[in-house]
Every structure is written in structure tokens, then in C-alpha cells.
Amino acid sequence: MAPNQNLAREVLKEEDQELADRYKNRLTAKFSRDGKDPMWADYGPHYVKVRKQCTLELFTPNRLEALRPIRVNEVTAMVESIFKDC
């Protein structure tokens, strides 16, 4: 965790390649479509392309705000499901 936004930005910019390489096993390969998921992709052209798309198109303030009702509904349903099962 970075204590502030500027430090977080610097860490992500400077250490992007280090943070991109993650340990993989058969389970992560199965769920990440053999490392094509941005969470498990090795640093390389594919990772750079996907990360750029996420930054410029998917995680923009307007897009996040537009998708807010969906997130709220999903979290509510999950909490209700957990509560019901306990």
C-alpha cells in the first residue's frame, strides 16, 4: 500500500515490470486463460496493451460511475447470499 496517490503512481510507473510478473500454477493458468487475463499476464506486449486499454477505456471515472449501479447490485446480492447461508 502506498500512503498517497503520488507515491502510488510513482511505484506503479517505476515498478510496473516487476509487479507484472507473477507466480503461476495450473489453477491460475486455467482461470486466467493461460496468462491472458491482465491479473496474471507476464510483462510483455500483451500485458502492455491490456493495461493500456484498462487505463484509458475501462477504469475511467465516467465508466466507473456508469457501472456503479451494477457493482452495488452485485455486492448487495453477495452480502444477502452470505447472510442467508449463515
Structural domain boundaries, residue 67? 5-85
For residue 29, name the pLDDT band (cuts at 50, 70, 90). Answer: confident
Question: Between vectors from CA 84 to CA 80 and to CA 86, what angle results, nearest 5°?
Answer: 120
Residue 32 has a pLDDT of: 76
Determine contact, residues 37/31, Cβ cutoff 8 Å.
yes
DSSP per residue over the chain, as a string?
A: --SSHHHHHHHHHHSHHHHH-----HHHHHHTTTTTSTTTPPTTHHHHHHHHHIIIIIS-HHHHHHTHHHHHHHHHHHHHHHHHH-
pLDDT tens digit string along 48-73? 898 899 889 988 999 999 999 999 99
Tell me how far apart the alpha carbons of residues 7 and 10 are, in angstroms, rounded to a whole number.
5
pTM for the full predicted model: 0.53
What domain count does the chain have? 1
